Every structure is written in C-alpha cells, then in structure tokens.
Structure 1
C-alpha cells in the first residue's frame, strides 16, 4: 500500500474483529437470485492527490461500466487514515460495501476475518484467469496456502527519487546505488539548511516498509517460517538501527523529519530543501506539487553492496492496492463482473496511467506508458528485487507495533539521545510483547 497515504493503523483492534461476526458488505439494492441488484457500492482508496482527483479519474470509468452492464456503481473514496477502521467496522457489523480497495499488506489480516470472498480458481476464471496477473502482485493477496482474499489492482514499488538541481549544486553526478554511497553523497549535500534524504519518521507504514527491506538486506525477517514474531533477531535490530542512524549517526536526515507523517518530506523535495526521497510511485505526486518532469530523476533504491536482486539485494516491498469483494454481497455476480472490468487490459492501462502506478496485469504492462524512465525502474524492481511483506494474520499489528518502535527511536535521535543496538533491541522486544499470543 502507499505510504504517501498510509493508514493510521489502529489495527490492534483487528484481533477483536477476528473473534466477531465474519460477515461482510452486501449493501447493494434489490436481492435474490431472480432479482439481480442493479447497484453496487464501492469503497475506493485515495490514490490521487486528493479525493476530488480520484472522483474525476474513477467516475467516467464507472459510468462506462454502467453503460456496458446496466449496473450502477455508487462510489465513495475513503481516506487512508479511515480506511482500515471502516473495513474492520464493516466486517463486524455486516454493513459495508459490495466491493472495496485494500492496501495489499492487509490482505492476510483481513482474510483471517472470513469477511472477504475467496478468489478460488472458479472466481479467477470469471475475470479471465489467475495467470493474467504478475506473480509478485499475487504474492500480496493473502496467506500463500489459502485462496487469495483479493485481486491486484494497482502495483507499486519503492525507488530513489532525486532532485537534479540539488545534486548539481552539490557537485553530485549520479544517484547512490549502495547505502555507503548514500551516506557519502548525503554528507556532501547536508549543509547550509539543505538535507540529503527525506523520511517520514512518524508514519508507521513507511517505517515498516523501510525496515522490512533493510531486514531482507541483512538476511533477516520479522517473522519465523511458521509465522511467529521474531522482532529481536540480529538482522532485524541491524535493519532498524541502520534506518534510524541516517538521522542519528550519519546526519543526512533532518531531525524535524522525526515528526513527519503526511508527505512533508515530498513537499521538502519539491521545494529544493531535500535532495532525495525513498518513495512509492511518486511521479504523479511531484507533478501535483508543481515539479516539472525534468527536475527529478529516479533510480533503484540502495542495497548494501552490488546491484539489486533477490534475497539480500531486495530493495523494495511489493507495494500496491488490491480489490476485494465482501462475501455477503447481494450480488456476487455483479461484484465479480465489476472486478473483471477494473482489471481488464483496457481499464488497467487507463487507471494505472492516471495514478502513475504499474498494472499488475501482464498484458497491460506492454503499453509504452509503463516503459518511461520513471516507470521502467518500478517495473524492474517489481520483477526482480521486491519482496512481499509477511502474509500473516497479525501483519497489521506488526505494522503498528514495530512502526511505533521506529517512530520512538526517531524521536530519540531528533532529541540528540544515542540510538544503540541495545536500545533498538529493547524497543523491538517491547513491540513483540504487544503482539497477540496464540
């Protein structure tokens, strides 16, 4: 899911939802197998620069669907700060939409509620088959041993965006490919009120995304093979310390970034205050902030050494948005027909062009629009060097607990207090204690 619109994941409540009624939406009018409802309700996540932008992007496509099928889609664009809690409330009350967008990192957690329609072979066949989708995107649709809880809609990956003017002013000729180069480059830039790298230290989801990737680069994960929390391994500790040390030790992230949570680092980037940001699919956002396309460049996110690839050269999580159907909808056929429409080759090109994301549908990726210098890096990352966040039922609690630990460590760094391996391990141990017990 996009950290630019990251959810305020109060997801410790998810364990309560798991024990509650596992029912779903079903707000379509009409009902019964002989009286197919002619209206579907759809909760779309806020993908554009504003909710109004999303409405302008989506409404013409929904009108097109109605013209083709006779089914009207009532649209509500839900801010990321509200989306997860809205979904959790719907799973317990049974009053929700027929179709909705979810951040792909929530897939396993929401799958565990039992509220979402499973995408078995029969349901995939209704939308053209499972093999239409990129395998890495399918890897973030739920627990691997179960039928997916959702279908990929928009795919995204992290990349390193750099401000060409600030690079030129500092005499930097190319973006850093490794973290050592990042620190070296950063120290050339971080002076006279300018800073090398932006961060969103109070954004829990962004914190998770970054430390998850760094843990992969240190040969670690935050969960064991059987899905148990493993937050205090040496690799996990090293990953969190390395990320926070960009502020605490390396001094290439401004202390004020410890309080950032709502895209302030992107604003600093657009205003020539910060030279680099690690972000998901950011070109449309920069354009909305008044930047011209030739003012910024894009490169793969750094690795420890060498070049990006699988395993310890992972440099992004598999980011994106999935589309799900509530199991108790009054119109499963209409809902799956809508998913088929939104994931059709033609619509995938239209929607992903509008949002600057990458289609998770293979055939749609052949469009030249997804082979520009900016999107080519994202496509290559998704294909070769991105890994899915752990698809475990407690993933949302993980985002909250570890994301908060990183936030607190950034606050310590901003205050000038030392961040040590011991203090990092203590924060992560506290986070692990907050996870549900089996």
Structure 2
C-alpha cells in the first residue's frame, strides 16, 4: 500500500487524537508480562464480546503468567485504528483483522510475518485450514496473520413468516428472493434487512454479486476495474432490492452495524444475509428453531463469464505487531487462541467455524447453520483480491454503495448511469 493510501485512511484518526493504548512493557514493573489485545466485535455488542473473552484470557494468564488487557473494537473503527497503529508504531501487541485486509496491512510492514519458523511456534502450518490460511496475506509471501474464526455468508429466513406467506422453501435465485420478499413485505414488516450504511458489508456483497455477473474489481496487474459493465450491473442488482423490488425498509440505508440482525431477530424483517448470525440471534432471544439457514441465492440466468459464487471467503485473522515488546508472549497468546480447546470454545460460542482442521469434525459444529457455512466455504466461496489496495477498495466502493442506498431511500432513481458515476469516482480516488 502506498504512503498516499495509508495517509488517506489514517489522516482523520491521527488528526483527532493520539493513540492511548500501548503495547506490552508500558506498565512499570510488569516485567513484560502484559499484552494488549484488540479484538474485533463478533457478538451482539462490545460488552458481550468482553464477557465471552475474559474467562479465556484469565485462563491464559493462569497458564502462562501473562496478563492480557483486551479492548473490543467496533468494525466502524477497527481498520482506521489498525492503520494508525501501523503508521505510528504505537498500539496493541496482538490484533484481530478481517481476513480481507491481510494484504493491505501486510504492505505496511508493521505486522510480524508467519514464516515457517514462526508458524512452528504457534503449532505449525499444517494445523490451519488451507483455504483460511490462504486469506492471511499476499500471494507468494509468508502470511501476515493466522486464521482465528472462519465465516461465510448465508441466507437466514423466518420460518413462521414464510409459512404465513405460503412460501414453502427458501429462495435459490435473486428473482425468487424478490418475489418472496414482496409477499413478506407489508403491515410494517419487510422482506429483507440490509445495512446500507456499512461500507464493509456493502463491499462484500458487491464482490459476490460481481462474481455472479462475471466481474472483477482488480485486473491481473492489480489495477482497479470498478466501473465495468459487470460491476455496475452487480451493484445495481444489490441496491435494487430497496430501490426497485422494495423489499427493504428505506430506513436500512442508515443501518451501520448489527441493526439488520436486530430487525430480523425482532420480526421486523423476514430475511437476512449475514455471516454466522446464530450467536447474535440467540443473544437477542430468537430461538434457533425459529429460523432456517440456506445458501445465498444465485442469478437465475447468469451472463457469460458469471461464476457460481455466493460468498466471499470470510473470516477473522489474528496478527502481531512488530512493535510489541514481548514477541514470545504474543506468539504464545496466538498459539493459545488457535489451540484445539479455544477453537472449539470460541467458535462454538460465536457460531463460526474453526480455523484449524483438527477440530473441524467436533459435534459443536454439526448444526444446520455450520453445515451451510462449511459447504459454502468448501464449494462456492471465493477470496477477495489479496492486493495491498483491498482495504481501500472496501472503503471507497462500500461508501459509494452507501450513497446509492441513500438515493434509493429518498426516492431518487438508481440507474446504471448513476451507479457507474459512483464507481468511476471511487476508481479515480484509488488512483
């Protein structure tokens, strides 16, 4: 990633305030026995994540004598804070990163690379699921992180709402979804919930739709190709769920994080596209037998070049900053978090899939939700481009789609021309 791209993404954070979270060794007299860990928000709230993680961190301290101070960082802040920490050399020892950001953060040079010798310190390369490890850094380079939680998108649907509308099976195509959504919309309820103001979520769906239309966001040389006809058609198809099909509440244009899950859990929307939503739904008192889980739909008639892809290879990686004053302790913590016991405990709690092959067959991951996610990852998921500019792509394209959802919510037409204009502007900003 160029210094210009880094500056664009971190200027706001650096101008607002200096970082106050410091790495290990900053507490006088601790003997390097304290680590700072930034965890990404996986549960229903930051507080819920802290409650889930703290007993495991206490267990690590009992085993090693190393105390871990955790801060759960919301997704809306995480990328900018990580880039700021990479730029300044100040920040935590260990971090969670979205696996799609791996190459971007690797290009800063701020993360410890997991070469074979380093991988051996955390249990060895062969422990990790190959597809998950492949999304941990740029091709032909040692990974900049190791996988922690494996995820994929799925379609969640309210069984009672479907039965009341006479819908006997979940939709398998976008056309069927639009038809079902219209039957499910009315009396203050909506067919589908989305998060139109969530740039990362928007970019993930843009990637998947574009794959189905035969589009790519970067060419083989890593040059952005945002405004191709295929990508324009893909983004329009997604935004049209609100603009044309009218199965999405216009207020969803302002939804930023977890609000769509809340609408689904509370019966305000009958369908949801999400990554491992089960634990989040449970925390909001939605019974597991109240909803079904199915693969994300495909296009009924894909154009030439269209791919059978219905999810990105999603997941959370765990990484170590080079500025840590306790590298051995940080790697020991990574080894602990990716151990068989912790992989079962944490992934079972979050409803995600283990990133190590040794526990993939554990009964904890035999529920219908995990079966759908595992099948998707194995057969119809594709990784986002592992290029240094990937995180910038998510920010710019995701924001362009946010603006298009705002247009749709306010009644302004969303046309091919208006979509192309937004994507062209995003592409120009990349350059």
| TM-score normalised by L of structure 1 | 0.90
The reply to whether residue 314 of structure 1 matches residue 342 of structure 2 is no
Deviates more, 1:322-331 or 1:274-283: 322-331
CA distance in 2: counterparts of 1:194 and 1:11, whole angstroms: 43
The reply to whether residue 37 of structure 1 matches residue 37 of structure 2 is no
Deviation at 1:26, TM superposition (A): 7.6
Query: 1:127-165 CA distances to partner (integer Å, 9 max, x unpaired)?
Result: 222222122212221111211111111111110000111
Correspondence for 1:112: 107
What SS class does the counterpart of residue 354 from structure 2 fall into? coil
Contact residue 226 and residue 424 of structure 2 kept, 8 A: yes
The reply to whether residue 340 of structure 1 matches residue 335 of structure 2 is yes
Structure 1 271/73 Cα, relative in aligned 2: closer, same or farther at 3 Å?
A: closer
What SS class does the counterpart of residue 247 from structure 1 fall into? helix
CA distance in 1: counterparts of 2:261 and 2:94, whole angstroms: 31
What SS class does the counterpart of residue 143 from structure 2 fall into? coil
The reply to whether residue 407 of structure 1 matches residue 402 of structure 2 is yes
Which residues in structure 2 correspond to 1:69-148 (within 5 Å)?
A: 69-148=64-143
CA distance in 2: counterparts of 1:248 and 1:430, whole angstroms: 21
Correspondence for 2:16: none
Correspondence for 1:167: 162
CA distance in 1: counterparts of 2:283 and 2:209, whole angstroms: 30
Contact residue 11 and residue 400 of structure 1 kept, 8 A: no
CA distance in 1: counterparts of 2:31 and 2:145, whole angstroms: 23
Deviation at 1:55, TM superposition (A): 2.2
Structure 1 194/51 Cα, relative in aligned 2: closer, same or farther at 3 Å?
A: closer
The reply to whether residue 278 of structure 1 matches residue 273 of structure 2 is yes
Match of 1:259 among 232, 254, 257: 254
Structure 1 277/116 Cα, relative in aligned 2: closer, same or farther at 3 Å?
A: same
The reply to whether residue 195 of structure 1 matches residue 190 of structure 2 is yes
What SS class does the counterpart of residue 353 from structure 2 fall into? coil
CA distance in 1: counterparts of 2:329 and 2:298, whole angstroms: 45
What SS class does the counterpart of residue 434 from structure 1 fall into? helix
The reply to whether residue 221 of structure 1 matches residue 216 of structure 2 is yes
CA distance in 1: counterparts of 2:273 and 2:329, whole angstroms: 39
Correspondence for 2:353: 358
Deviation at 1:339, TM superposition (A): 0.7
The reply to whether residue 12 of structure 1 matches residue 34 of structure 2 is no
Correspondence for 2:287: 292
Query: 1:362-405 CA distances to partner (integer Å, 9 max, x unpaired)?
Result: 11211111110111101111111111111111112111111111
Correspondence for 1:22: none
CA distance in 2: counterparts of 1:285 and 1:30, whole angstroms: 35
The reply to whether residue 430 of structure 1 matches residue 411 of structure 2 is no
Query: 1:282-318 CA distances to partner (integer Å, 9 max, x unpaired)?
Result: 01111111111111111001011499xx971111111
CA distance in 1: counterparts of 2:266 and 2:57, whole angstroms: 36
Q: Which runs of 5+ in 1 are unaligned?
A: 1-8, 18-24
Q: Which runs of 5+ in 2 are unaligned?
A: 14-20
**After the TM superposition, which segments of 4 or more aligned residues of structure 1 sit over 4 Å from their partners?**
14-17
CA distance in 1: counterparts of 2:374 and 2:247, whole angstroms: 28
Correspondence for 1:28: 24
Number of aligned positions between the proteins: 416
Correspondence for 1:6: none
Deviates more, 1:256-265 or 1:100-109: 256-265
Contact residue 203 and residue 403 of structure 1 kept, 8 A: yes
Contact residue 10 and residue 84 of structure 2 kept, 8 A: no
Deviation at 1:116, TM superposition (A): 0.2
Match of 1:375 among 370, 378, 389: 370
Deviates more, 1:42-51 or 1:206-215: 42-51
The reply to whether residue 416 of structure 1 matches residue 411 of structure 2 is yes
What SS class does the counterpart of residue 360 from structure 2 fall into? helix
CA distance in 2: counterparts of 1:242 and 1:311, whole angstroms: 14
Correspondence for 2:245: 250
